[in-house]
Structure 1
Amino acid sequence: MEILSQMWSFLGLLTVLQNILPSQLLSLLHSFYESLQDFFSPYSYFEIPEFNGYCGVDVNDLYRHVNLYLNSVDPSATCPRLTLSRSKTSNRISFTVAPNHTVHDSFSGHRLSWIHHVDTLQDSLDERRSFSLKLPKRHRQTLLASYIDFVSARAEDFERVSRDRRLYTNNGHASYDSGWVSVPFRHPSTFQTLALEPELKERLTEDLTAFSNGREFYHRVGRAWKRGYLLHGPPGSGKSSLIAAMANFLCYDVYDLELTKVSDNSELRALLIQTTNRSIIVIEDIDCSLDLTADRLLKKKTSTPLMAENHGEENGRVTLSGLLNFTDGLWSCCGEERIIVFTTNHRDNVDPALVRCGRMDLHVRLGACGVHAFKALAMNYLGVESHARFGEVESCIRGGGALTPAEIGEILLRNRRDVDVAIKAVIMALQASLLMADRESDDRGRMPESIDRKLLESPDNWDSSPGKFDGKKRKEGSTWERKVKFFVRLKSLTKSDSGRRGRD
């Protein structure tokens, strides 16, 4: 009781002194007390406020990294009180350390602590937040820099895989505030569900992985950290699905750039500046978006290149030179870790300057559905890995049956309740595509009489028969040889199908 009485007396004395002494002297005494405490304490403390300075406008990026890092290590194991939150556009629960609570961590065999301070400002509803890092004083020189770098790297990796990805499109007002509007990006396409041949999948995933991990390489060789992909192929070959799979694989945002909404080259540059790092910039149907080839024709007609350039700017539109600077000029280096993707149905219609190496680094040809791609579709839509009639499908595909993944996917979707009916429908569609291709070749011209005589011979004797063709006739003969081989394969398929029906 005597000790408690003395403590109450001491506290009363402090209260009286606090009311009597001036604030400047109290502040000086408080600083002296903290210095004395730091001198005898075996730990060092480092404050990381939420904002830089005192205006509360410039956000401290290190505070955000610490918050992300603590989420990545799951502080629920060491902190008894956490604040949980979840946004409307995300299914992930995020953690925040409760005010004035501590999270313990370890690094290089040393024990460290993070203390989350939240103070309410006087005569205001605003709060001042900060993290305090506690680490051993005698090891602070060796621990501080390496540990902060580790926290930032871990936070960036966690942000990449956990943040809400967005799909952006330009709204035609890049000169005002922001030229992009966005929605949550939740496309389900992945490389596991994509209808591609295994070799192409492996090639793409390895290239994307090497790019995302290539920060030091690109800086060392002096190149902008970006990469270009040209996806070309017929409609329905899976170009858009591949872009979505790339975004999900890398956890990147997607910027769908509509060139017809861009007024001129200045607006195009403004849109580029407003894109974020770790993003995929997509221009679909590059050959149809703008008549870029007209720029080259215009330069040929004008007397000087300067006149041609002025004419393009007077029209107030995006020119070929502006798009080239967008993909590979100085303005393309204003950000890092970006992928630029062009898609087209007709590669030959794209200006060669747009698709050269350095701008479009990787050209990906997407065409008719292959055997492995069909099996992936059958697994996705029907849930089967094998079927008795897969061999017939493979024969039709190898025989020249050409259907895009979208066409086969629609057939499987329509008949997904009956696996046998779905596979049979695919076989019939492949056979129909074979007949259609043959009919189109018939419309191009009448069969030459010399080739007609060769049809009477066995296909195995075509190369050894004395009536070989030279020059143009040789080229025509090879086309009709493929046609006859088609009839031979189709006849064998018909026989096998009729024999199966007879047994049934």
Structure 2
Amino acid sequence: MWSLLGLLTVLQNILPSQLLSLLHSFYESLQDFLSPYSYFEIPEFNGYCGVDHNDLYRHVNLYLNSINSSATCRRLTLSRSKSSNRIAFTVAPNHTVHDSFDRHRLSWTHHVETVQDSIDEKRSFTLKLPKRHHPLALLTPYLDHVTSRAEEFERVSRERRLFTNNGHGSYESGWASVPFRHPSTFETLALEPDLKTQIMEDLRAFSEGREFYHKIGRAWKRGYLLYGPPGSGKSSLIAAMANFLRYDVYDLELTKVSDNSELRALLIQTTNRSIIVIEDIDCSVDLTGDRLSKMSRKATRSEKGRHVSDDGEDNGRVTLSGLLNFTDGLWSCCGEERIIVFTTNHRDNVDPALVRCGRMDVHVSLGACGAHAFKALVAKYLGVGSHVLFDVAESCIRSGGALTPAQIGEILLRNRRDADVAIKAVISAMQAKILGANVDFIEGSREYEEAGVKTPESVDRRLVESPENWETSPGRIGGKKRKENGSTWERKVKFLVRLKSLTKSDSGRRGV
């Protein structure tokens, strides 16, 4: 053995390098011919400059994270970033992970070599395939499987971000981001079951509809319009959608966007699998007003010598046309699998061109809590699945005393130490809303003003009277219209008296 090693050392010193290279190539060819396996190398970078990253290398690394590599590999390298709680691993240098595909045994070997006279390392994966079948016939479907599995694993496990525009959208970094860790999910949302199911099914069909959208020739995007009073859960629904789909969220602040060019630059910088949100679309900038009033303003400003664009919008600002192109124009097709969400408190104030079909495909009305949503909030805040006052609360909701999720949540949070007190406080707020609505009705009615019923104190006095005496009370007004309005009012007042008696009797039974 020592003699052979000495001979090889002498030959390396005396033989020319070209001949040594030729002998080495001949030896590798002979080894490949005799080996029952084929080998394919996947380097970390494309080419030799070390700048262009090889996506296939990244996909292989993600794929090996998605399978149980610890069962077939003796050594793994663990890592965790500062902004993520997930532990990732890579195959240790010069170690092998075994895999199977279509009843074939395969293996991945992670090679790491130190570059001579440098601290850089050259990394690559080597795939070993059996030769008994044509390697290329197995290679293509297997790499497709690796890529799809890696993309799915990256979508589910990657750290998601919440972006906001920083006012420099025309430059390379128009967005600033933080980790997105909003806890809202569809399980925690206070929504009616039918509405929740419809939204989840629509989102699931959208995320799985890549081939369908390509087949029909439409951009792979979808628009949602969320409208309802403040506190109805619009922002929580957006967070639940992002958590359900595992998408990034881009919160676009239109007041920070200088013009349409910057708006397009911001759109280009967004990634696939993202939700682009514009909250309070009717209040962000002056886009959704009456078009005739805009034309009159154009004429007025033109008389003053101010330059105005042809479409009635000022130059140097975001226009309605620019926002329409952002949502449904050619520039909206620069990415895939995107959801655009507009929110507003007043749907009628939004320009109809922004919310037509094709731009805002799904309109979701969010309002006061129904009976199911109320019970879900009570279960979430108080841990109570059933209560004797649930029927009273449902009666209040049916009579127009429903509150928004934010209002109910605040009352429950404030009284979370005692479930009975918390539920009674919510019912009292519902009764106050019913009473306030009827007081507003009375004060706005001319006939009731003529009868002298003007203040809430007079309504309180009627509450303590016996219901049998209402027909003969001094405030009674004759006439057909009075009977219609009076019957509605009397039914609601009777309902309030019955609610008060129910809550008092329940308090007496419980000793409260």
Fold shared per TM-score above 0.5: yes
Residue 167 (structure 1) aligned with residue 154 (structure 2): no
Question: What residue number does 1:120 align with?
Answer: 114
Q: For each residue in 1:422-476, what CA deviation from the matched residue of structure 2 results, as whole angstroms up to 9, or x when unmatched?
A: 1111111111111111122122123469999xxx9999xxxxxxx997xxx6xx9
**Residues 443 and 449, structure 2, Cα contact 8 Å, conserved in 1:** no
Mapping 1:253-292, distance limit 5 Å: 253-292=248-287
Distance apart, 1:27 and its partner CA: 2.1
| CA deviation profile, 1:299-322 (whole Å, cap 9, x unmatched) | 64469xxx9644767530000000
What corresponds to 1:3 in structure 2? none
> SS at 2:446's partner residue?
coil
Question: Aligned letter for 1:371?
Answer: A
Partner letter of residue 197 of structure 1?
Answer: E
Residues 246 and 107 of structure 1, relative CA distance in 2, 3 Å threshold: same
CA distance in 2, matches of 1:41, 1:131: 19
Q: Residues 346-385 of structure 1 correspond to what in structure 2 (within 5 A)?
A: 346-385=346-385
* TM-aligned CA deviation for residue 35 of structure 1: 1.3
In structure 1, distance between residues paired with 2:223 and 2:26: 60
Deviation at 1:12, TM superposition (A): 1.9
2:409 maps to amino acid = G
Corresponding residue for residue 34 of structure 2: 40
Task: Give me the whole-angstrom Cα distance separating, in 1, the residues matched to 2:490 and 2:328.
Answer: 49
**Residue 263 of structure 1: SS of its match in structure 2?**
coil
Whether contact under 8 Å (2:309, 2:315) holds in the other structure is no
Secondary structure of the residue aligned to 1:416 is coil
Aligned counterpart, 1:105: 99
The aligned residue for residue 212 of structure 1 is 207
1:246 matched to 2:215: no
Q: What's the offset of the Cα at 1:483?
A: 3.3
Q: Which residue of 1 aligns with 2:473?
A: none
What pairs with 1:262-341 in structure 2 (closer than 5 Å)? Answer: 262-294=257-289, 296-297=291-292, 300-301=295-296, 309-310=309-310, 315-341=315-341
Q: Does the CA contact (< 8 Å) of 2:308 and 2:314 recur in 1?
A: no
2: CA distance, partners of 1:479 / 1:127 = 84
Question: How far apart in 2 are the matches of 1:468 and 1:137?
Answer: 98
RMSD: 2.5
8 Å Cα contact 1:195-1:374 kept in structure 2: yes
Change (3 A) 1:490 1:295: closer
Describe the SS at the equivalent of 2:401: coil
Question: CA-to-partner distance for each residue in 1:173-218, whole Å, 9 max, x for gaps?
Answer: 0112210000000000000011111111100110000000000100
Any conservation in 1 of the 2:248–2:274 contact (CA below 8 Å)? yes
Unaligned segments of structure 1, at least 5 residues: 1-6, 460-466
Matching residue's letter, 2:121: E
Q: Secondary structure at the match of 2:249?
A: strand
Give the residue type in structure 2 aligned to 1:9.
S
Cα separation, partners in 2 of 1:365 and 1:25, compared to 1, 3 Å: same
Q: 8 Å contact 2:382–2:419 — kept in the other structure?
A: yes
Shift of the 295–143 alpha-carbon distance from structure 1 to 2, 3 Å rule, reads farther
Q: Which moved more, 1:387-396 or 1:188-197?
A: 387-396
User: Is 1:156 matched with 2:154?
Assistant: no
**Are the equivalent residues in 2 in contact too, given 1:389–1:423 (CA < 8 A)?**
yes
Q: Secondary structure at the match of 2:195?
A: helix
> Is contact 2:368-2:402 (8 Å) kept?
yes
Corresponding residue of 2:172: 177
The equivalent residue for 1:490 is 496
Residue 75 of structure 1 pairs with residue 69 of structure 2: yes
Once residues 61 and 269 of structure 1 are traced to their aligned partners in structure 2, the CA distance between those partners, rounded to angstroms, is 27
Match of 1:202 in 2: 197
- Counterpart Cα distance in 1 of 2:336 and 2:167: 24
User: For the Cα contact (< 8 Å) 2:289–2:349, is it kept in 1?
Assistant: no
1:193 has 2:160 as partner: no
2:125 equivalent in structure 1: 131
How far has the Cα of 1:495 moved from its partner? 2.8
d(CA) in 2 for partners of 1:481, 1:55: 85
CA distances 1:332-385 after superposition (whole Å, capped 9, x unpaired): 000000000000000000000000010000000000011111111111111111
Partner of 2:142: 147
2: distance between equivalents of 1:438 and 1:481?
A: 12
Pair 388,311 (structure 1): closer, same or farther in 2 beyond 3 Å: closer
Match of 2:458 in 1: none
Contact 1:451 1:477 in 2 (8 A): no
CA distance 1:323–1:449, change in 2 (3 Å): closer
User: Contact 2:442–2:449 (CA<8 Å) still a contact in 1?
Assistant: no
The worse-fitting range, judged by mean Cα deviation, of 27-36 and 91-100 is 27-36
Q: 1:480 to 1:233 in 2, by over 3 A?
A: farther
In the TM superposition, what whole-angstrom CA distance separates every residue of 1:476-502 from its partner, at most 9, and x where no partner exists?
976665433322322221232333345
Cα distance in 2 for partners of 1:53, 1:298 equals 60
TM-score normalised to structure 2 length: 0.89
Q: Deviations over 1:250-287 (max 9, x none)?
A: 00000000000000000000000000000000000000
Secondary structure of 1:138's counterpart equals: coil
Between 1:174-183 and 1:265-274, the stretch displaced more is: 174-183
How many residues are aligned here? 481
Once the two structures are TM-superposed, the CA of residue 228 in structure 1 deviates from its matched residue by 0.4
The answer on whether the counterparts of 1:299 and 1:308 sit within 8 Å (CA) in structure 2 is no
C-alpha contact (below 8 Å) 1:298/1:308 kept by paired residues: no
